[in-house]
Structure 1
Amino acid sequence: MRSAASPRPWPDIAQAALRARLVADLETARVSNETERLRSALLSGLARSALAAGGHWLGR
């Protein structure tokens, strides 16, 4: 049996769960931002390639 002075483990478990959720949310945001950055770079590179080819690359 626990003494009245010892804390219950539930707050620690709740805090750990919250931290885990925050870490997961941050990782999701990081991956989303990196995906957008790579998408933007890819599209920019394709546009430069098309312009450099005088539009012929696009079948014109």
Structure 2
Amino acid sequence: MSAPEPDLETAKRRHKGPLVGIAIAVGFAIVLLGALALWVSYQGNEPGNGASQIDGRTGAEEQSDGA
């Protein structure tokens, strides 16, 4: 059951702190997501490591060019 006559001013005052906290948490999450997206986009264009590959025909080890 709801209250017979809700007091909107009291409700606004009581909910102000939690709503501000939620807004700060969402803003922080957006900043972290943006930082992750930037970091992944910059790291994605660089070659990983120069690991060698095995030629399937001869079994010889070949050096990778990183591309």
TM-score range, shorter chain: 0.5 to 0.7
- The one-letter code matched in structure 2 to 1:37 is A
- Which structure features the higher share of strand residues? 2
Higher relative contact order (CA 8 A, sep 6+): 2
Equivalent residue pairs, number: 46
TM-score between the two structures when normalised by the length of structure 2: 0.51
TM-score between the two structures when normalised by the length of structure 1: 0.56
- Which structure features the higher share of helix residues? 1
Q: Which has the larger radius of gyration?
A: 2
- Listed as ranges, the gaps of 5+ residues in structure 1 are 1-6, 49-53, 56-60
Once superposed, what is the RMSD of the aligned Cα atoms? 2.8
Percentage of pairs with the same residue: 9
